[in-house]
Amino acid sequence: MMRIIGENKRKVFISIVLMGLVATLAVFRESEKSLGGFVAEKKATVVGVEKIENLKESRDRIKYPAIVAGDQEINIIAGLNGTATAVDFRLGDQVGRGKVLVRIDDPAGLAGVGKEGFANGQIQQLENALKQSDEAYDQAKRNYDKDDTKDNKTAKDIAKLQKQNAQIALDAAVDNRLVKAPITGYVTAKNIAVGGSISAGQILATVSRPEKIKVKFYVSQEGLANVKVGDNVVVDSGGKEAPAKIANVSIQADAATKRFLVEAVPSGPGALAIGTVVDVFVDARREAAGDDLIILPLSAVTVGQNETYLFVAEDGQAKKNPAEIVKIFGENAEVRTDLAAGSLIIIDGSRLVQDGDKIVTQ
> 13-29 burial by CB neighbour count: b if 16+ within 10 A, else e?
eeeeeeeeeeeeeeeee
Q: Return the SS3 of 219.
A: strand
Give φ, ψ of 135 to 5 degrees: -65, -40
Indicate the helix (H) or strand (E) that contains 2: helix 2-34
Nearest one of 273, 263, 268, 258 to 231, comparing CA atoms: 263
User: Does residue 202 belong to any structural domain of this protein?
Assistant: no
Task: Answer with the one of 286, 302, 319 that is the final residue of a domain.
Answer: 286
How confident is the model at residue 15, as a pLDDT? 56
| 318 plus 336 within the same structural domain | yes
Q: Which residues pair with 235 in a beta bridge?
A: 242, 280
pLDDT at site 239: 86
Same domain, 105 and 177: yes
Report DSSP state, residue 272: P
Q: What's the CA gap between 102 and 77, in Å, rounded? A: 11
Number of domains in the chain: 4
- Identify whether 193 is part of a domain: no
Return phi, psi of residue 10, to 5°: -65, -40
In a domain, 200, yes or no: no
pTM comes to 0.49
Whole-number pLDDT of residue 60: 80
- Domain boundary among the residues 234, 253, 286 is at 286
Cβ-contact 319, 355 below 8 angstroms: yes
* HSE-up of residue 244 (Cα within 13 Å, Cβ side): 33
Predicted local distance difference test score (pLDDT) of residue 170: 86
Q: Domain limits at 313?
A: 46-58+289-361
Answer whether residue 172 is part of any domain: yes
DSSP H or E segment with residue 278: strand 277-287
Q: Pick the last residue of a domain from 185, 217, 244.
A: 185
pLDDT at position 2 is: 46
357 and 280 assigned to the same domain? no
> String of b and e for 294-323 (b: at least 16 CB within 10 Å)?
bbbeeebbeeeeeeebbbbbeeeebbebeb
Residues 116 and 171 in one domain: yes
What pLDDT, on the 0 to 100 scale, is given for residue 310? Answer: 94
CA distance 324 to 328: 11
Nearest to 314 by CA among 356, 268, 273, 265: 356
Would you state the pLDDT for residue 341?
87
Is 163 part of a structural domain of the chain? yes
129 in a domain, yes or no?
Answer: yes
pLDDT given for residue 180 in this prediction? 92
Q: For residues 205 and 132, what is the distance between their CA atoms, to the nearest angstrom?
A: 38
| pLDDT score, position 288 | 85
Q: Is 44 in a helix, a strand, or coil?
A: coil
204 within a domain of the structure (yes/no)? no
> Is 190 a member of any domain?
no
Tell me the pLDDT of the chain (362 aa) as tens digits: 444 444 555 554 555 545 555 455 454 455 544 444 444 567 899 999 999 999 988 888 889 999 988 877 889 999 888 899 889 999 888 899 999 999 988 765 544 455 556 777 778 888 889 899 999 999 999 999 998 899 999 999 999 999 999 899 888 888 888 899 998 888 888 999 999 999 999 999 998 887 778 999 999 988 898 899 999 999 999 888 889 999 999 999 988 889 999 999 987 656 688 778 999 999 888 888 888 899 998 899 999 888 999 999 999 999 999 999 998 877 888 999 889 889 999 999 999 999 999 999 98
Question: Is residue 281 domain-shared with residue 304, that is, in the same domain?
Answer: no
Tell me: do 249 and 331 sit in the same domain. no
Q: How far is CA 229 from the centre of its chain?
A: 21
